[in-house]
Amino acid sequence: MAHQWRGVIREYIDRLPFEASDPIVTLGEGGTPLLEAPALAKLLDVGNVHLKFEGMNPTGSFKDRGMTTAVSKAKARGAQAVIAASTGNTSASAAAYAVKAGMTSVVLVPAGKISWGKLSQAVAHKAQILQVKGNFDDCLRLARELSDNYPVFLVNSVNPDRLQGQKTAAFEVVDVLGQAPDLHAMPLGNAGNISAYHLGYREDLELGRIKKLPRLFGIQAEGSAPFTKGGPVAKPETIATAIRIGNPASWDLAQAAKTDTNGGFGAVSDKEILWMHRFLSQETGVFVEPSSATGAAGLYKLSKQGELKGLDQVVITVTGHGLKDPDWALKDDRGKKIKPRKVAAAAVAVAGLLGLEKNR
Ligand code: AN7
Pocket test for ligand 1, best of 59, 87, 238, 324 (most atoms within 8 A of CB): 87
Domain ranges of the chain: 8-61+160-324, 62-154
pLDDT of residue 186: 98
Q: Mention every residue, 6+ apart, whose C-beta is less than 8 A from residue 189.
A: 87, 220, 242, 243, 244, 245, 248, 291
- State if residue 61 touches ligand 1 by the CB under 6 angstroms criterion: yes
Atom of ligand 1 nearest to the CA of 89: 2
For atom 12 of ligand 1, which residue has the closest CA?
Answer: 189
Same topology, domains 8-61+160-324 and 62-154? Answer is yes
CATH class given for the domain over 62-154: alpha beta
Atom of ligand 1 nearest to the CA of 88: 2
d(CA 24, CA 71): 8
Q: Mention every residue, 6+ apart, whose C-beta is less than 8 A from residue 138.
A: 110, 132
Atom of ligand 1 nearest to the CA of 289: 1
CATH class given for the domain over 8-61+160-324: alpha beta
Q: What is the pLDDT along the chain (360 residues), one digit of tens a residue?
A: 678 999 999 999 999 999 999 999 999 999 999 999 999 999 999 999 999 999 999 999 999 999 999 999 999 999 999 999 999 999 999 999 999 999 999 999 999 999 999 999 999 999 999 999 999 999 999 999 999 999 999 999 999 999 999 999 999 999 999 999 999 999 999 999 999 999 999 999 999 999 999 999 999 999 999 999 999 999 999 999 999 999 999 999 999 999 999 999 999 999 999 999 999 999 999 999 999 999 999 999 999 999 999 999 999 999 999 999 999 999 988 889 999 999 999 999 999 999 999 999
- State if residue 247 touches ligand 1 by the CB under 6 angstroms criterion: no
Please report the sign of the dihedral spanned by the C-alpha atoms of residue 351, residue 352, residue 357, residue 360: positive
- Closest to 20 (Cα-Cα) out of 79, 72, 98: 72
Pocket test for ligand 1, best of 167, 184, 239, 291 (most atoms within 8 A of CB): 291
For atom 6 of ligand 1, which residue has the closest CA?
Answer: 242
For atom 5 of ligand 1, which residue has the closest CA?
Answer: 86
User: What DSSP state is assigned to residue 309?
Assistant: T
- State if residue 87 touches ligand 1 by the CB under 6 angstroms criterion: yes
pLDDT of residue 334: 86
